[in-house]
Amino acid sequence: MESSSTRHIVETLSRAIVEHRLHPGTKLAEQKLADHFGVSRTLVRQALFQLAQNRLIRLEPARGAFVATPSVDEARQVFAVRRMLEAEMTREFVRTVTPAKIKALKAHIAEEKKALDGQDVASRTELLADFHVRMAELMGNHVLAELLGELLSRCALITLMYQSAGAAGHSHDEHEAIVKALAAKDTELAVRLMQEHLQHVEANLTFDRKLPSNDLSMALS
């Protein structure tokens, strides 16, 4: 029971961060969270510790927990790791590609389009990130899917802090082009498109933006 409560808190807070409802620097007050989830502060503390291990929050002695504020250096390092990982993932995907896998990716892209057209920012953000995790899942590599999931959670914070408007539509178009290359089993083109896509996402980050702020109660309601 305790672990399922902790997991629920971790998942809810992670989702609020990834969907940009909880912004970098937001203070996560233990008592407020305990009241919101109807659990003890001990369980909240366990959840916050897990989130700190995933780099989604930072714990400061005598000050408490805050949604992490990734530095520009960290942002660049996260994208460097993604480029290394995802280039090889794309190569492997082409080696094991099937019509069923392409169909699944096309269905995902259709969902992205729907979220973009409906201007559903939360779903759009989540779906654009999940495209990459979906590729790993379709390959049956759960370790890679998990690793990418963690990296993409950190990316969600980075894009919230630094991404300029209009970048989401470009990401969707680039995902479509990647799937076309995967379907054609064109390894070199697919890898090049994936690397260019990640370079474009990073290039669209504006590192001198004024940071947003948010309220905990509103974000979880």
Print the SS3 string covering 134-187: HHHHHCCCHHHHHHHHHHHHHHHHHHHHHECCCHHHHHHHHHHHHHHHHHCCCH
Same domain, 26 and 134: no
Read off the pTM.
Answer: 0.73
DSSP state at residue 68? -
Q: How confident is residue 157, by pLDDT bands cut at 50, 70 and 90?
A: confident
> pLDDT value at position 24?
83
Distances in whole angstroms, Cα of residue 62 to Cα of each of 44, 59, 102, 196? 16, 9, 51, 43
pLDDT value of residue 122: 66
pLDDT tens profile 124-156: 777 888 999 999 999 999 999 999 988 888 887
**Residue range of the domain that includes 146:** 72-203
65 and 76 inside one domain: no
Q: Please report the beta strands in 12-63, taking only residues with DSSP state E, as ranges in sequence order.
A: 27-28, 57-60
- Find, among 125, 130, 142, the residue nearest to 104 by Cα: 130
pLDDT at 32: 94
154: which 2 tokens?
């950190």
User: Has residue 112 been placed in a domain?
Assistant: yes
Q: Between 70 and 27, where is the model more confident?
A: 27
**Which of the 8 DSSP states describes residue 209?**
P
Could you tell me the CATH number of the domain that includes residue 176? Answer: 1.20.120.530
- C-alpha of 2 from chain center: 26
DSSP E strands in the chain: the ranges are: 27-28, 57-60, 64-67
Residue 126's closest CA among 50, 9, 199, 20? Answer: 20
What percentage of the chain reaches a pLDDT higher than 70? 88
pLDDT per residue over 70-116, tens digit each?
888 888 899 999 999 999 999 999 999 999 999 999 999 999 999 88
Give the SS3 label for residue 119.
coil
pLDDT at res. 216 = 63
Q: What is the pLDDT of residues 194-213, one digit of tens each?
A: 999 999 988 888 776 555 55
Look at residue 163 in the predicted model and tell me its pLDDT. 65
| Residue 62 CB contacts under 8 Å (≥ 6 apart), including other chains | none
Instruction: Work out how many domains the chain is built from and give that number.
Output: 2
Distance in angstroms between the alpha carbons of the first and the last residue of the chain:
23
- Give yes or no: residues 120 and 65 share one domain: no
What is the per-residue pLDDT for 39?
Answer: 94
Q: Are residues 155 and 112 in the same domain?
A: yes
User: If you average pLDDT over every residue of the chain, what do you get?
Assistant: 87
Alpha carbon distance 17, 218 (integer Å): 13
Q: Give a yes or no: residue 216 inside a domain.
A: no
Q: Is 50 contained in some domain?
A: yes
CATH code, 58:
1.10.10.10
- Asked if residue 155 and residue 167 are part of one domain, the reply reads yes
